[in-house]
Amino acid sequence: MPVITTQELTKRYAQVTALDRLTVQIGSGVVGLVGANGAGKSTLIKILMGLVEPTAGRCDVLGFDPATDGPRLRSQIGYMPEHDCLPADISATEFVVHMARMSGIPANAARERTADTLRHVGLYEERYRPIGGYSTGMRQRVKLAQALVHDPELVFLDEPTNGLDPSGRDEMLMLIRRINVEFGISVLVTSHLLGELERIADHVVIIDGGSLLRSSSTSEFTQASQQLAVEVTSGTGAVTEVLTAAGLDVSVDGRILVVELAGDETYDVVRDAVAKLGHGLVRLEPRRHRIAEVFEGGVAGAGTT
């Protein structure tokens, strides 16, 4: 059963159509909502939470109509907003306890759940320090903790990796995956980076100019290509030369040699060439498309990690 359904959902502001007859169904698991800046991602989330009224169309979230059943719906969802919105002079514990109390959780339970949630997001040691002294990564984790503390069924995470360095990004992405796997919470996570959602999302929805470009499972996007990915322990240059001399089309992508498949015998040619040169074979497998390649040029301004 879909967690979210939209039907011809439209939002017009004075100058801009932020959502343009968007019809999509979103299931449970981790779903990535991808689009360039201004594509309409935040507007969609705000409508799905009942915070912004659509100009036209309908939507359903966890069986509720956000426009008429906002308060009941919001007790079952969590929201991590895009922009920084944290008070500087109180601790993560005080802030998250406050947010838990706002959700109707009794005082003792709110303190317990806050400690558990802050431990889960990796802020347990720092939980009594004022938020004003936190790094960007720690502040993102406080925003994530307040979205989870009332044990929602579904969380909306708006650009959770914004402002993070590569290792901070990786940690945040793994944390998001764990929210779904360990707690069974469905996640709708937005990003303007296709590559990072490909790593954690079961399903990806791509919007452009407020319209649906594509909605597919991640595995459909990343189906096998007509190429082999080859990784060797050493001698990348020599292996490339030998394979090229054998008539194969080879390119280098970081540590990986990408070899165009010219029939099943390509596997043997690669294996024999690597063995003859005395190098080890780390990997020899069909290469999968990356989502960004499928959409090369399709999403204006969208980048890859």
Residues in the site for ligand ATP, rule: CB under 6 A? 13, 16, 18, 35, 37-43, 82, 159
SS3 198: helix
Q: How far is the CB of 22 from ligand ATP (least distance, A)?
A: 11
Sheet containing 186-191, strands listed edge to edge, beginning at the edge strand earlier in sequence: 77-80, 154-157, 186-191, 30-34, 203-208, 211-217
SS3 194: helix
Q: How far is the CB of 13 from ligand ATP (least distance, A)?
A: 3
Q: Which two tokens stand for residue 22?
A: 């968007």
What distances in angstroms separate CA 46 from CA 19, 29, 279, one per listed residue?
Answer: 12, 20, 55
Q: How far is the CB of 254 from ligand ATP (least distance, A)?
A: 28
Q: How far is the CB of 39 from ligand ATP (least distance, A)?
A: 4
Q: Which is nearer to ligand ATP, 126 or 196 (CB)?
A: 196
Sort strands 77-80 and 154-157 into parallel, antiparallel or unpaired.
parallel
CA atoms of 117 and 129, how far apart (whole Å)? 16
Q: Which is nearer to ligand ATP, 105 or 292 (CB)?
A: 292
CA atoms of 55 and 241, how far apart (whole Å)? 60
Q: How far is the CB of 299 from ligand ATP (least distance, A)?
A: 11
Q: Which is nearer to ligand ATP, 82 or 112 (CB)?
A: 82
Q: How far is the CB of 193 from ligand ATP (least distance, A)?
A: 11
Q: Which is nearer to ligand ATP, 25 or 55 (CB)?
A: 55
Q: Which is nearer to ligand ATP, 17 or 76 (CB)?
A: 17
Amino acid letter for position 38: G
Q: Which two tokens stand for residue 28?
A: 């449970």
Q: Which is nearer to ligand ATP, 34 or 292 (CB)?
A: 34
Task: Report the 10 Å Cβ neighbour count for 242.
Answer: 19
